[in-house]
Chain A
């Protein structure tokens, strides 16, 4: 690091220079003024070009009882037919006996930016008579896969990231409260993955019912200390906090999904046409789908990935390494005790 060039700029830092402050306690790199154009900002362009070449990965999981509009919602979010149902047309809806995880990967492109989107669906969740432990198959094995790749001696240049970055949980619009199944699932999974709860098929609730329902859900989440995304603990600065607080007031979003277009006031909009009116999906006065889309894609996509990598994955890694009970990890043998690797949920 070059020492500051111009002394008169450094009045405020003089006290710190006087004492012999060890490096670890230094207050951070000292700021300085540039007296000409250096070109540091060009690094942003370089990053942009690079990421556009490599593309983004985003893995999203949708969980909820059958019939809550999960596949339609995913199609509406990404404005293309990316759901499980669209890739297997004509297959009859049958409730599977056990919960299955089905992932479909698509590469979608917009303005030169490529995104490899993986949607994991969970048919059979919560549909049986006895739903105990139906959340177990959803336990994230992706972390394990990533961890093994990471501790290899010769690692791949870019480890394929199949970890779920965000899990959208669909709450049925009963209008009363969260069911025991919802509470159990969200409690267990919010510890290992970012959970975004949404109220599905919200066109069945009037605005007052919607507000009451949301309030009750928020109280429930607080009572059971379930921290959904955006988590309060990970707000980095007051600006973040202010933005996230605004989002947290509205969680869970009341959404409606639609894949058909109708004519409204001369424009073609996505919506549902009923005998008493047309519900426009992208109209903020009708439903909160635009908020969900903005959260997941337009503003917090990178944040979701960062929290998954820096927080959830790290805590998983720490847990696994402590389990293995060995001072140094031998990458040749891999991690011991794969059989005991079931997450302690």
Chain B
């Protein structure tokens, strides 16, 4: 039994479907009647929510950060089995000297078994690459704050039907495997961001480490994270009524943090099978082999089991912190200015870009709905 099945019993949404409760074959009449006496029927609520969400689709914003050359793009491609970076051009020498940290968003719509996911990857090229990296994380913290601010404004606004949630739900931070632990840049970055976003630290390019080195490095990183008081994303405790296997898997997951990952864009032939991997003269590294690296654990955690939890923590903890801070700042400013304002805080007008972006998104949604309706009508006409 995988963790997927475990989710069924807790009522959390698995990525796959569990229509059983609603579509199960009816019992015999006698059983039904007995059943009916005690059965109210709200046990189908999760399924109703499920069906609605499937129609609406999910969205998820993932940020990747770390020095260049650590395999971030390759890992993202491996995680979502897409090629998001095929048009990427590497800069030439002069451009690189003056490179600053940028924020680049890639959005892609993926669909699997009828479930739609709008995935946004926020990339941070240029981070940690310069000679002087002081405050190189500032553009990133600014971006995250901007997304919070935009959501805050939308939430306090009048039209709340189509709020676009661009908040960053998770940040994968790539730690270089070539060091002896965390570097000063890593520590400063994580301390600047741990209260704004869920940080999941990863050890990149783990195929250059032998197993004993990986163990030592993980211990070292865990010690340093504690020492510097960095609050990385904690996996939620599983309930006590879960079965033993689920709990065992959960424990293994927690013990292998930070995950040592390898990514690959290429498919190689290993033991007669075609797998994603890297071909070396001395052997083949398989990305999805649990003995080789923790990629499978990361993927399961990120997509299959904890995606919703990441979103919840972002909404409930990080966003609320931001909101509380924001309101506090405003009220303290107001008492200073000694003015009486309306309870809804007045924020500076949004820039025209975000407004038009929202309009475009709304129109896109309408278009898509109309197209779906058209398709259904055509289908009906063909059937007749």
A residues at B contact (CB < 8 Å): 65-69, 93, 95, 127-132, 172-177, 179-181, 183-184, 200-201, 203-204, 206-207, 219-220, 223-224, 272-280, 285-286
Chain B residues, CB < 8 A from A224: 93
Known: A129-B185, A273-B210, A276-B285. A203 touches B280 (CB 8 A): yes
* Residues of chain A with a CB closer than 8 A to B131's CB: 130-132, 180-181, 184
Q: Does residue B178 face the partner (Cβ distance < 8 Å to A)?
A: yes
Among B197-250, those with CB < 8 Å from A are 205, 207-208, 210-211
Q: Which residues of A contact B97 (CB under 8 A)?
A: 180, 183
Contact in complex: B68, A174 (CB < 8 Å): yes
Across the interface, which residues of A come within 8 angstroms of B207, CB to CB?
Answer: 203-204, 274, 276
Name which residue of chain A comes closest to B185, CB basis.
A129
Tell me the smallest distance from the CB of B218 to a CB of chain A, in Å: 15
**A204 near B208 (CB under 8 angstroms)?**
yes
> Which of B161-183 touch A at CB < 8 Å?
176-181, 183
B280 with A67: CB separation less than 8 A: no
Judged by a CB distance under 8 angstroms, whether B291 is at the interface is yes
By the criterion CB–CB under 8 Å, are A278 and B282 in contact? Answer: yes
Contact B282 A275 (CB under 8 A): no
Chain B interface, >50% SS class: loop
Residues on B with beta carbons closer than 8 Å to the beta carbon of A128:
184
What are 22 A-B interface contacts by the 8 Å CB criterion?
A67-B176, A67-B180, A93-B180, A128-B184, A130-B131, A130-B132, A130-B134, A131-B131, A132-B132, A172-B69, A172-B176, A177-B91, A177-B93, A203-B280, A220-B93, A273-B210, A274-B211, A275-B291, A276-B280, A276-B284, A276-B286, A278-B282
In whole Å, how far is B65's beta carbon from the nearest beta carbon of chain A? 15
Kindly list chain B residues whose C-beta atoms are within 8 Å of the C-beta of A279. 280, 282
Minimum CB–CB distance from A273 to chain B (whole Å) comes to 6
Q: Are B180 and A174 in contact (CB under 8 A)?
A: no
Q: B281 contacts A286, CB within 8 Å?
A: yes
A20 to B205 CA separation, bound complex (whole angstroms): 73
Please measure, in the bound complex, the distance between the C-alpha atom of A68 and the C-alpha atom of B205, giving whole angstroms.
14
Residues of the B chain whose Cβ atoms lie less than 8 Å from the Cβ of A95: 180, 183-184
A200 to B, closest residue via Cβ: B178
Contact B179 A67 (CB under 8 A): yes
Tell me if A177 and B96 are in contact (CB < 8 A).
Answer: yes
